[in-house]
Chain A
Amino acid sequence: MNDDLYKPFLMSIETARDEAPDVRTFRLRFAQEGDRAQFFQRYRVGMFGLYGVPGEGESTFCVASPPTRTDHIECTFRKVGRVTQALQDLEVGQSLTFRGPYGNHFPIDSWKGRDLLFIAGGIALPPMRSVIWNILDRRAEFGKVAVVYGARTTADLVYKHELAEWAARPDMTLVTTVDPGGQTPDWKGKVGFVPAVLKELAPSAKNCVAVLCGPPIMIKLTLPVLAALGFAPKDIYTTLENRMKCGVGKCGRCNVGSVYVCKDGPVFTLDELSRLPAGDM
Chain B
Amino acid sequence: MKTIETSRLTDLAQALSAAGYRVVAPVAEGGVVRLREWTKGLEIALEAVPVNSMKDFLFPRSEVVARFALQEEGGFTPATNERSTPKTVVLGARPCDAAALPALDAVFNWDYRDGAYNARREAVTIMSLACAKADEHCFCTSVGGAPDGIAGADAILRPADGGKRLVFEPLTEKGRALIPAAAGTLAEGTAATQTPVAPPRRFDPEAVGRWLAANFDSPFWKEASLACLGCGACAYACPVCHCFDLQDESDRRECRRLRNWDSCGFGLFTLHASGHNPRPDQSARWRQRVTHKFSIYPQRFKTLACTGCGRCSRLCQAGMAIAETCQRIEALGR
Contact = CB atoms under 8 A, between A and B. Distances in A.
A249 B107 contact: yes
B173 interface: no
Contacts of B110: 249
A257 B119 CA distance: 31
B115 A58 contact: no
Interface string A146-172: 000000000000000000000000000
Interface residues of B, number: 52
A55 B255 contact: yes
A13 to B, nearest CB: 11
A258 B112 CA distance: 18
A3 B270 contact: no
B194 interface: no
Given A6-B65, A243-B271, A258-B295, A250 B115 contact: no
B250 interface: yes
Contact of A7 (B81, B108, B271): B81
B104 to A, nearest CB: 10
Contact of A1 (B113, B116, B273, B288): B113
B111 A8 contact: no
B296 A249 contact: no
Classify chain A: how many residues form its interface, as a range: 35 or more
A97 B67 CA distance: 11
A241 B242 CA distance: 22
Secondary structure type dominating chain B contacts: mixed
Given A277-B217, A279-B217, A256 B107 contact: no
A165 B270 CA distance: 38
B118 A250 contact: no
Interface string B263-274: 010000111111
Between B107, B270, B272, the greatest number of chain A beta carbons within 10 A of the residue's beta carbon is seen for B270
Interface string B232-263: 00000000001111111010000101010010
B66 A6 contact: yes
Contacts of A56: 248
A57 B114 CA distance: 20
Given A95-B76, A251-B243, A258-B300, A3 B113 contact: yes
A68 interface: no
A159 to B, nearest CB: 21
Interface in B288-313: 288, 292, 295-296, 299-300
B246 to A, nearest CB: 5
A255 B66 contact: no
Contacts of B274: 80
Given A54-B68, A57-B248, A280-B278, A253 B273 contact: no
Contact of A3 (B75, B77, B107, B114): B114
12 contacts: A2-B115, A4-B115, A6-B246, A7-B66, A97-B66, A246-B246, A250-B107, A250-B108, A253-B270, A258-B300, A260-B300, A280-B279
Interface of A: 1-8, 10, 52, 54-59, 80-81, 84, 94-95, 97, 216, 241-243, 245-246, 248-253, 255-258, 260, 263, 277, 279-281
Given A94-B74, A95-B75, A257-B216, 20 more contacts: A3-B112, A3-B114, A5-B112, A7-B66, A7-B78, A7-B81, A8-B78, A52-B248, A55-B248, A57-B257, A216-B276, A245-B244, A248-B111, A248-B112, A249-B110, A251-B243, A251-B246, A252-B242, A253-B270, A277-B216
